[in-house]
Structure 1
């Protein structure tokens, strides 16, 4: 059979022309590389009258303090803050954006807008939010997940690439949340290369370890994800990590030198007075008709915030509440419990069905279990009104930490949390500001000891949690990230 060389040549030539044309279009249409000579300018016209009244939230006070004689503020530090997830459920990245803007940097915040964004983000004139469309299909079925995975990655690639390369101006820095790693790190590297932008990765966990919760560590996709994450992390300019333990793992595994940047509570999370707690609790429909005397009340309020995902085993709390309710029938000194679970996520419907069944079976007598999705202000008030915070975060990598615990400490709320992972002692000091458990039985024991005694241990833990209020987010952020981005207050 004669080889059709002419046909092969014509096909190859056609492909070469198409590829070269696509590359040419890409080069000419991608906005120009970042230039230090094109600083972002802010003028009086940038701010409305309402902005001027709320000068700190809007950035107007910073403008007034740092503007030049001609009334112009020229901003050198421009930063894209990238979240391939829901911005409203990414408090750390929102805090990054606010800290950058409050210290005179221009921020483009890119991510999904599926829940309420922090109101201070929306009010600040140095922050612009650029929503990206989420993938429209989700599946809990393992086989269907494997089928949808490449389609989801392709969707996310084009959406993120378009947002970073075309919808937002070129920036000096790009700060990317990891995970998710795929395709975030690849897209970020491409944009940063062509725009001469410096990439910084903020490590919250490892993408491959989260994927392993669904597929197992031996799965080829998990191994590929681990290789991918290691390769693309090496090309970044700098790295932040949420724990010292994560910094050590990054260095040992991939030779990445990360700066530890621990989560600390933001300013809006504050302890409440007795009157403030009572006033808030009276607004909650679940407690209608209850006694609001905080000194003698016969119930205790516990709060848990969850994303309803596999790395937070909610069944531990349910089992502990059932055991507590059973024990209360024998011990009248144990108070009733009101458990409020906040958050959104894929496993919520499953657990709500289980809760309803337990209530019908009379296994949760004298225990009120309620779910809520609260505003930023109400969530802070809920934490400030509670007696104990519960963390069910089990850590897929063993070296990340739940920010929800930091939020609880911000209001002076002591914590009981799953402690069977390496990084836990970096956050909670056993017997000082919280207690750790490794089973439902362990959590039940903690609830009985803290609520069934004379209250001295719970008061001691609250004093320890109050001490954690003293160091805030900006106190941690400024000497690390602020120094890297060369920002000034």
Structure 2
């Protein structure tokens, strides 16, 4: 499932919960972009059902970048935690998020090891080295730091689409989890602007 700025993360969560037998068809309309649900809203009656369905389940939020500079994904993590998931955020822990994630007990930040500094090298060298580094780092971290039995949702941020999407897809297949992509931008446009590549 892929969704972008026009839809809420709750659309994806509603889909996952429908698999669990929770009647959540009414919760995919007129919801705030952040995916947060007010207990005074028309959807409040669904909160206990969602929490019951998600209890014991795990969600992985993947940010192949600085977690502290990804408030959108942090909001998604909070929403998932409030729905009853145990949430692990995978990313580079270069700075602390402005959102106090430590106040939410089910949320854990799992730091990824950043690739070595290679600014002095040409893009033709940097890109393949970083690609291989991130593939192995992200794959093994996700594989060993998520539950083999209880991982239900993998929510990844795009960009970067490569290798994030490839690795998350493999993990989702290995652990029978649902993969959801928060589509921010096209990967090729980010690479083009960052490395001054031609069209």
**C-alpha distance in 1 between matches for 2:67 and 2:73:** 8
Other-structure match for 1:201? 181
**C-alpha distance in 1 between matches for 2:82 and 2:93:** 22
Other-structure match for 1:150? 128
Q: Is 1:116 equivalent to 2:82 in the alignment? A: no
**Aligned-pair distance for 1:176?**
0.4
Task: Name which of 162, 165, 169 aligns with 1:182.
Answer: 162
Q: What is the aligned-residue RMSD (CA, Å)?
A: 2.5
What TM-score, normalized by structure 2, do the two folds share? 0.67
**C-alpha distance in 2 between matches for 1:102 and 1:217:** 44
Q: CA offsets per residue over residues 339-366 of structure 1, 9 Å max, x none?
A: xxxxxxxxxxxxxxxxxxxxxxxxxxxx
Other-structure match for 1:32? none
Q: Is 1:168 equivalent to 2:146 in the alignment? A: yes
**C-alpha distance in 1 between matches for 2:177 and 2:101:** 23
Do 1:178 and 1:203's aligned partners in 2 also have CA atoms closer than 8 Å?
yes
Do 1:98 and 1:120's aligned partners in 2 also have CA atoms closer than 8 Å?
no
- Structure 2 segments unaligned to the other structure (5+ residues): 1-18, 20-46
Q: CA offsets per residue over residues 389-420 of structure 1, 9 Å max, x none?
A: xxxxxxxxxxxxxxxxxxxxxxxxxxxxxxxx
**C-alpha distance in 2 between matches for 1:201 and 1:134:** 22
Q: Where does 1:233-382 land on structure 2 (aligned, <5 Å)? A: none
Other-structure match for 2:171? 191
Task: Name which of 63, 82, 86 aligns with 2:62.
Answer: 82
1:73/1:96 Cα in 2 relative to 1: closer, same or farther (>3 Å)?
A: closer
Q: CA offsets per residue over residues 289-337 of structure 1, 9 Å max, x none?
A: xxxxxxxxxxxxxxxxxxxxxxxxxxxxxxxxxxxxxxxxxxxxxxxxx
Do 1:77 and 1:105's aligned partners in 2 also have CA atoms closer than 8 Å?
yes
**C-alpha distance in 2 between matches for 1:103 and 1:129:** 18
**Aligned-pair distance for 1:210?**
1.1
**C-alpha distance in 1 between matches for 2:113 and 2:53:** 33
**Aligned-pair distance for 1:151?**
1.1
Q: Secondary structure at the match of 2:166?
A: helix
Q: CA offsets per residue over residues 104-149 of structure 1, 9 Å max, x none?
A: 222111111001134521221111111111112141x6x6222121
Residue-pair matches, total: 149
